[in-house]
Amino acid sequence: MNKINFNFDKRTAVITGGAQGFGLDIAKRFLNSGAKVIIWDIDPEMTEKTVKDLNNSNLSSKIVDVSNFNEVEKCVSEIIKESNVDILINNAGITGPTSTLWEYDVEIWKKVVDINLIGTFNCCKAIVPNMIKNNYGRIVNVASVAGKDGNSNASAYSAAKAGAIGLTKSLGKELANKNIAVNAVTPAGAKTRILDQMTKEHVQRMLSKVPRGRFLEVEEFTSLICWLSSEENTFSTAAVFDISGGRSTY
């Protein structure tokens, strides 16, 4: 696919879950567009490999558990000593196991919500004050079509992503009088490692709901993220951008 050029010169972006999947592709595109990129990820080996493979002086990384506010706050305080955070991509997430709600392990249910929803809250809470100070910011929260529709046997993931959508709408309105845009994206299933966490039956059920008849390509997703993160997005905020291949039409 042809890629539109974006200008992220002199912009610093934090990408959570940036060592693989969606986050990695976003990091690559941001770097190619001139941004300084800071990857936050919880997987040390994957993060080290990503930084080594990309071999870019504008790329750095931190091992961060986004569900731990103290860790997030510490990392933000270190960043703003030297620069601002202009762009935040809340991408870190896990699907959790496929299980009926009444059979779902309580602690795992909480963990899924902690990473997907509380993690998004933590990062926004820590970074937004810096954006307010500089009267500039672009925040994109990676939700899911599951947050709109609710996927059976995925109550934790569906609930957490629905929460991320609600958070986006609230924060976007709170910041609407500033030059800070807060939006969410709701992808359908994509060809990333997150599919490996699901059963084949669950994956096939997801695919059967997509009128396009295929999974989302990572590059297609990244293009939408880039526009929402750019200075070209001057008006859209507190909104939910669907990229589900026709599965959701609202």
Residue with tokens 């990129």: 37
Q: Which region holds residue 237: left if phi is over 0, alpha if psi is between -120 and 50, else beta? A: beta
- Indicate which residue of 104, 136, 157, 250 is catalytic: 157
CB 70 within 8 A of CB 122: no
- How many CB atoms are located within 10 Å of the residue 200 CB? 8
User: H-helix or E-strand containing 72?
Assistant: helix 69-79
C-alpha 40/C-alpha 104 separation (Å) is 28
Active site residue 157: yes
Question: Based on C-alpha coordinates, what's the Rg of the chain?
Answer: 17
CB 244 within 8 A of CB 207: no
Name the residues annotated as catalytic: 157
